[in-house]
């Protein structure tokens, strides 16, 4: 059980999102970095789609109210418990009351904190993820704030869930592979690095770089879009749609980021840079299969680490 002292820049409850509701205007949503969410849950013995905390940037602080097992995956935001460092990609036993703090960004944008048992909030449309624009899911459809209490569903024997490590994290190179859509990928999109703009959010990354010109109307009838689609609004600066992307849009689509690279997109903040490279459908399918194999790989256990974790709490 955790009580929020400070939520930092943005902290929400997320899972793997809602499928089957896009035709009703409900986005897929869920974790920006689905790979890290799955790994954090697996480390504490949860189902892969259990709800966890998505912590964006440093500054979040929680009070641990009761013994619990947590796992951290994704960004390294300098997590500590009672001043002791908690590395990502492993499970940790927090023996009792104390302060769990995310003190500084070392790498990445979003850390995922899984509680053994999974965060206990009511499902909405089959998922517990928070959809901020629609104000539903998660905890009252909003970002966490000071005073909120986060509880977990029953987890059974916590001792069995300690000492687990994930030996090979996903590849987070700041390079995203693109597939063409309705024509070749514009050369300028590939030839330059793109800066993530300050107006970026969970709906999409607004990218800054050379103006892109295309030989087609800048607005058209709306059609289906999804996370990974790159749209080009009238200002010529692309938008890379992410987890909370609307199900339809009218801007031209100039490329599609492959699904196997969207966890990379999730780990950038405004001011960071992304590069794009072209790929093929066959390579995209192979990358997806390799990512799924990684997420299904066995979790390693270290008995000595488990003993030390319980002793050091």
Summarize pLDDT for 233-255 with one digit per residue, the tens. 999 999 999 999 999 988 999 99
Domain total of the chain:
2
User: DSSP strand E in 133-180: where?
Assistant: 149-150, 164-165, 175-179
As a dihedral over the C-alpha atoms of residue 6, residue 52, residue 296, residue 289, rounded to 10 degrees, the angle is: -80
Say if residue 247 is in the same domain as residue 118. Answer: no
Residue 51 to residue 262: CA distance in whole angstroms: 19
Domain that holds residue 159: 2-166+300-312
Task: Please check whether residues 191 and 230 belong to one and the same domain.
Answer: yes
* Residues 133 and 244 occupy one common structural domain: no
**Both tokens assigned to 86:** 């908690």
253 and 237 inside one domain: yes
Query: How many residues are there in the chain?
Result: 313
Mean pLDDT across 219-238 = 90
Helix (H) or strand (E) holding 287: helix 281-295
78 φ, ψ (degrees, to nearest 5): 70, 45
Comparison of pLDDT for 131 and 1, the residue scoring more:
131
Pair (153, 188) in one structural domain:
no
Alpha-carbon distances, residue 239 vs 143, 215, 246 (angstroms): 24, 18, 13
3-state SS assignment for residue 261: helix
Predicted confidence (pLDDT) at residue 292 exceeds the cutoff of 70: yes
CATH of the domain at 208: 2.40.100.10
């Amino acid at each position: 059980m955790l009580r929020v002292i400070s939520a930092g820049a943005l902290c929400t409850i997320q899972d793997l999102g809602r499928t089957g509701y896009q035709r009703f205007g409900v986005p897929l949503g869920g974790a920006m970095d689905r790979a890290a969410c799955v790994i954090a849950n697996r480390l504490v013995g949860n189902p892969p789609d259990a709800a966890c905390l998505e912590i964006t940037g440093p500054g979040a602080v929680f009070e641990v109210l009761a013994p619990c097992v947590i796992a951290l995956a994704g960004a390294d935001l300098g997590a500590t418990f009672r001043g002791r460092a908690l590395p990502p990609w492993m499970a940790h036993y927090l023996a009792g009351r104390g302060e769990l703090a995310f003190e500084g960004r070392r790498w990445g944008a979003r850390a995922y904190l899984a509680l053994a048992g999974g965060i206990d909030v009511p499902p909405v449309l089959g998922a517990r993820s928070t959809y901020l624009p629609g104000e539903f899911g998660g905890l009252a459809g909003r970002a966490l704030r000071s005073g909120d209490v986060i509880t977990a569903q029953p987890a059974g024997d916590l001792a069995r869930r300690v000492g687990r490590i994930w030996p090979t994290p996903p590849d987070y190179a700041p390079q995203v592979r693109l597939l063409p859509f309705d024509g070749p990928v514009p050369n300028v999109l590939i030839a330059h690095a793109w800066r993530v703009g300050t107006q970026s959010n969970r709906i999409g990354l607004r990218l800054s770089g050379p103006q892109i010109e295309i030989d087609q109307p800048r607005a058209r009838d709306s059609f289906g879009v999804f996370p990974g689609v790159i749209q080009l609004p009238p200002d010529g600066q692309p938008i890379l749609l992410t987890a909370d992307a609307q199900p339809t849009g009218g801007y031209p689509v100039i490329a599609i980021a492959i699904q196997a690279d969207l966890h990379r997109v999730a780990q950038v903040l405004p001011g960071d840079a992304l590069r794009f490279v072209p790929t093929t459908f066959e390579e995209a399918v192979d990358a997806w299969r390799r990512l799924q194999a990684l997420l299904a790989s066995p979790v390693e256990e270290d008995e000595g680490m488990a003993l030390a974790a319980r002793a050091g709490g």
